[in-house]
Structure 1
Amino acid sequence: MAAIKFVGIIGVVLLWYFLPGFAEALYPSRILQLALYGILTVISWKILTSKKFVAVDPSNKAVLITGCDSGFGNQLSHKLDALGYTVFAGCLQPDREGAQKLKMSCSDRLMIIPLDVTDDWQVRGAVKTVKENLKDKVLWAVVNNAGVAIFTEIEWCSVTQFQRIMDVNVLGVVRVTKLFLPFIREAEGRIINVASLAGRFTLPAFGAYSMSKKACIAFSDALRQEMAKFNVRVITIEPGLYKTPISETDNLINMNRKSWSETPTEVKDVYGEEYFDAFLKNITEQMKRARPNVNEVIERMLDAVTNESPKSRYVPYWLSKIRLIILAHLPSSVTDKLLNVYMPNIKPSNE
């Protein structure tokens, strides 16, 4: 393994030494050159950061996960329970079907706890519950998975909706992390924050969501540096769009219709009903792009919890990494044109 990695490193060094001239000769187009750089960067990163997997011993370790009613949190709870971890599954609605099915399908090591990450008292109650039930175990990881989304244009996204998404996706992460951090610091464990690729670049109608995920990434970056002195790891999981409750079209359409109905008439007159209908149709089409293989994300979350040497950042799906690299290196004038395909192909009524 060491020999292969050494050869790989030498190959990467030589590749990057000759790459500029090679790329220019082979692909005169700047975009194609960037695509080549993106692909080779991912390959290089894989070679340079590859480590042998060494599993954490789960026998004396507990994990707290938020947002376990459904989606990533629910599935991660199942997987960690099966591996032998003690799981505290935080659920917004602990008496509803999602939480109850989770409890019934797992071992008695898994405990459902009520956890609304926007409620200070409930988060403090969760701390008390975890402390009383840890027994001889340590709190090894906190997975801040709970999140909400709204995909709508800014002019008909109310300030209340901005506040809601920031309270869950940002302040919820801060609340939970700060209160559980003493346990994690004592165990030299890890904080795992589920962010998004939307925190790295922003699509039209993703303004509120991207703002929250950018803030989550900034919080994680600062905390990672501050916690290094305590041997505490801080990790982000940054998936693209996957088929989870967040991407359910009916919910998104209903939220947009509610927002539109509450938008001042003078604003609606600028856009027009035809534009709004086209927007809804476009959102429906975009949600069809959501990747069905949510296991790509769950496997990265599992690695973040169970690997003795986890990465500080996980981006599921290799093509997403390449797109991210390309978009990061293009001027905004170009990215604006590329991302304009996500806008309705119709002009507002006043144009």
Structure 2
Amino acid sequence: MLLYVAAFVGLFYLVRWYRERQVVSHLQDKYVFITGCDSGFRNLLARQLDVRGLRVLAACLTEEGAEQLRKQTSARLQTVILDVTQTESIAAATQWVKECVGDRGLWGLVNNASTSLRTAPNEWLNKQDFMNILSVNLLGVIEVTLSLLSLVRKAQGRVLNVSSVMGRVSLFGGGYCISKHGVEAFSDSLRRELSYFGVKVAIIEPGFFKTNVTSSERLMSSFKKAWDQSSSEVKEIYGEKFLETCLKSLKVMEQKCNPDLSVVTDCMEHALTACHPRTRYSAGWDAKLLYLPLSYLPTFLVDAFVYLGSPKPAQAL
């Protein structure tokens, strides 16, 4: 019996390996639009796809970021300034993409603009702190996608939404984990709706990688500002020692982050160029071996795991 099971599993992975090696034809004629190309995964992906021969349309938040990217790439790559929190900016970028792609349509849309500021225990934050993250990580993803959907459908192309392992397991407060949970839900519904038109939707779920999102300096500043705006009652309940422990944990977390961003961008490239892309890509060993299995465990076990590495407030019971 075990032999039959092993044979079935081996055959399954052999067939999947063969299917995933098949590459889409005429890549040099296909346009891919990527948001947030100033730095991080998206910047590397833009350069990686440019080398591969695709026609990259890179959206940057700043002109400085766009200029630096153009210097590192071929003449095929084009840039546009985009603020995903502004409807007018999205509309202008959409019109620009339409002019670039013409009748070919848009083969790939990669939603990767992201921020983690401000992140802190929920009770330290206000509504605007949550909205600042949601407007970029979730609402920006939704509006950009809806604006460009007709072009992707015309090309029977791909939509890639970058989520996170924090979209499966919420380890800290603030809008970041909430936004990534939202990206997962939006992507799932979108995938089913667009499957009727030959469009494929994939979710990229990176583990912890060394980017601006996981920068301890930025996150520590976020924690301190959230602490400063908290009421005297909240400060008394949590205590200065809790804040200090959190700040130390952020430094340790950054040291453990994977600096090899190509682990993530290779997943993105496969989702854009393979004939049979996966629905979900868990990028990084921590995602595959820790957070993905953790998301399937009973809640009390997940809570116990999170409590192990978390500091306790001064007035905790």
Query: Is the structural similarity TM-score above 0.5?
Result: yes
Give the structure 2 partner of residue 11 of structure 1: 6
Counterpart for residue 348 of structure 1: 314
1:211 Cα deviation (Å)? 0.9
Structure 2 residue 148 is the aligned partner of structure 1 residue 153 = no
Matching of residues 62-77 of structure 1 within 5 Å:
62-77=31-46
CA pair 88-12 structure 1, distance change in 2 beyond 3 A: same
Q: % of aligned pairs identical?
A: 35
1:191 matched to 2:191? The reply is no
Which residue of 68, 77, 87 corresponds with 1:101?
A: 68
Cross-structure match for 2:187: 220
Relative to 1, partners in 2 of residues 1:340 and 1:217: Cα closer, same or farther, differing over 3 Å? same
Which secondary structure does the structure 2 equivalent of 1:241 belong to? coil
Deviating more after overlay: 163-172 vs 275-284: 275-284
Q: Give the aligned partner of residue 306 of structure 2.
A: 339
Letter of the 1:143 counterpart: V
The answer as to whether partners of 1:275 and 1:349 remain within 8 angstroms in 2 is: no
1:19 is aligned to none
CA gap 1:72/1:44 in 2 versus in 1, 3 angstroms: farther
Structure 2: runs of 5+ lacking an equivalent? none
Q: Which amino acid aligns with 2:121?
A: E
Task: Classify the secondary structure of the residue corresponding to 2:276.
Answer: coil
Q: CA deviation at 1:293?
A: 1.5
Displacement, 1:54?
Answer: 2.2
In structure 2, relative to structure 1, the CA distance for the partners of 1:54 and 1:271 (3 Å cut) is same
Normalising to structure 2: TM-score of the pair? 0.92
Preserved contact between residue 89 and residue 113 of structure 1 (Cα < 8 Å)? yes
Aligned CA RMSD, in angstroms, stands at 2.1
| Counterpart selection for 1:238 from 205, 227, 235 | 205
Aligned counterparts, 1:168-317, within 5 A: 168-203=136-171, 205-317=172-284
- Cα offset for 1:330? 2.5
The alpha-carbon distance between structure 1 residues 122 and 327, as it changes in their structure 2 partners (threshold 3 A), is same
TM-score, structure 1 normalization: 0.83
Q: Distance in 1 between matches of 2:22 and 2:169?
A: 33
Q: CA deviation at 1:10?
A: 5.0
Runs of 4+ off more than 4 Å: 43-48
Q: Of residues 40, 50, 53 in structure 2, which corresponds to 1:84?
A: 53
List alignment gaps of at least 5 residues for structure 1: 1-7, 16-42
Matched, 1:58 2:27: yes
The structure number with the bigger radius of gyration is: 1
Secondary structure at 1:291 match in 2: coil
- CA-to-aligned-CA distance 1:122-165 (integer Å, 9 cap, x gap): 00000111112224643100000101114311111221111111
Q: Measure the CA separation in 1 of the matches of 2:199 and 2:176.
A: 28
Change in 2 beyond 3 A, CA 1:132/1:155: same
Q: Does the Cα contact within 8 Å between 2:205 and 2:282 map onto a contact in 1?
A: yes
**Contact between 1:78 and 1:106, CA under 8 Å: does it hold in 2?**
yes
